[in-house]
Every structure is written in structure tokens, then in C-alpha cells.
Amino acid sequence: MKHTLRSIFSMALMLVSLSALAQEKTKDTVKSGKTERYGLRVGLDLHRLAKSVYDKDYKGFEIVGDYRLTKKIYIAGELGNEKKTVDDDQLNFTTKGSYFKVGFDYNTYQNWLDMENMIYAGMRYGVSSFSQELNQYTIYNTNPYFGQTTVIADKEFSGLNASWLEVVGGVKAELFNNVYLGFSARINYLVTNKKPENFDNLFIPGFNRTYDGKFGVGFNYTVSYFIPLYKSQK
């Protein structure tokens, strides 16, 4: 977790620096009567794609998007699918399913002319539909003579679902014309959680690990493309 937080912090500093540098280049070109672009930005989460390659126990993808509603407010959302196998000391299980999140982002960054970078905070409401497959579990015996017993369960629980709220913070910076690199960090809180009988939802697609409670954390690294739809006078 510490390594992940350091990586996120480093990415934030890099994107903010890129954003500041790009705006510095346009300071001397500011003119009155210019317009601001409004449109749709769509992209992919690079973290989930990369993890699907290097982690044999994980497959997933996430499509991200936002639409500029006003000068500062964006409607935003994510759509994804995940399959993850968790192999702990006491049990081995596989979770697979899809999720959808929708909410808003508020851009706190003051852009110079023609720049559309973001340092933002926002919220999401997420919904996930998934199944859990209990592959095997270990029964702990206090008597050292008998040791531990591993049971091959091979039992699937389908028709599960969960919903949650997310508090989001992130950065998006334009690297090339209409191409943006970004990251976001999230704190999640479960609202509803349909659990299987005699088991628990220890991993929820889109939410991440539940850590024996209602809270979870997540993040993504994204590359996205901005599709301008119309312009508005500043």
C-alpha cells in the first residue's frame, strides 16, 4: 500500500508539473474574446490493462469518460469488468462481474487560455453485478496432531450485487492535442451488499477488497481523448 501511495503521489506531481509547464507556454498568447471548448472525453484505465498482463490471477478493463457540463463541473463515469482469484492462507476464491459508476467532477484548477487540464474532486455512485466461486478453504484444527484440513469446495454463488459511494480526487493533463494522461484515487463506502449464504463478498468488481468492513480504496491511471462538440464564449 505504501508503494502504491508513493506511486500515486509521484504521478500527481508529474502531471501538475506538465500542466503548469503547458500553461506557462501560453501566457503570452492570451487575448480577449476567446472561446472555451465543451465536449466528451473517453479513455481506458492503463492500470487494469497492465495488471491483466503481468498478474495471472487477474483479468479486467475499465472505460472512463466525462462530459463538460459547465466551466467547472463535469459529468463523469466508469464502466468495467473484472475477474480476480484471491489465494489467502485460509481460502481460495474467484470473483467475476461487471460494474458501472456515475457522478461528477469539480475542476479546482484555473486554466490559462486554450488549456483544459484538471485537478479535481468528485463523487460517484457505483453498482456491481457479480458471482463468487469458492474454490477451496482450509479448516484450522487446534490439535497439532491432526493439523489443517484443506477442503476442495468448487461451489459457485451467482446473482450477487453491491452498490457504494466513492469520494474521488485526481488530475488530468493534456500531453498532446486532445490526448490526456490522468490518475485518480478513491475512497469507497458500501451502501448495499448482497452476500452469499455462509460466505462473504471479500472482493467486489469496481469496489476492490472489502477488508472485512464497508470501506475500500481504489485508483486508476488513464489515457483519454477529448472530442470537442461546441464552443462557448469566455
Q: What is the pTM of this model?
A: 0.80
With cut-offs at 50, 70 and 90, classify the pLDDT of residue 7.
low
Q: Apex CA 125: angle with CA 211 and CA 115, to 5°? A: 110
Residue with cell 492462507: 89
For the record, the C-alpha cell of 66 comes out as 466525462
Cα 11 from Cα 24, distance rounded (Å): 20
Cα 44 from Cα 51, distance rounded (Å): 13
Cα 135 from Cα 152, distance rounded (Å): 6
Q: Looking at residue 30, what is its pLDDT?
A: 43
Task: Enumerate the domain spans of the chain.
Answer: 45-106+119-170+182-219
Distance of CA 175 to the CA centre of its chain: 21
Residues 187-211 have pLDDT tens digits of 999 999 998 887 888 899 999 988 6
Q: Looking at residue 9, what is its pLDDT?
A: 46
Residues 57-86 have pLDDT tens digits of 999 999 999 999 999 999 999 999 999 998
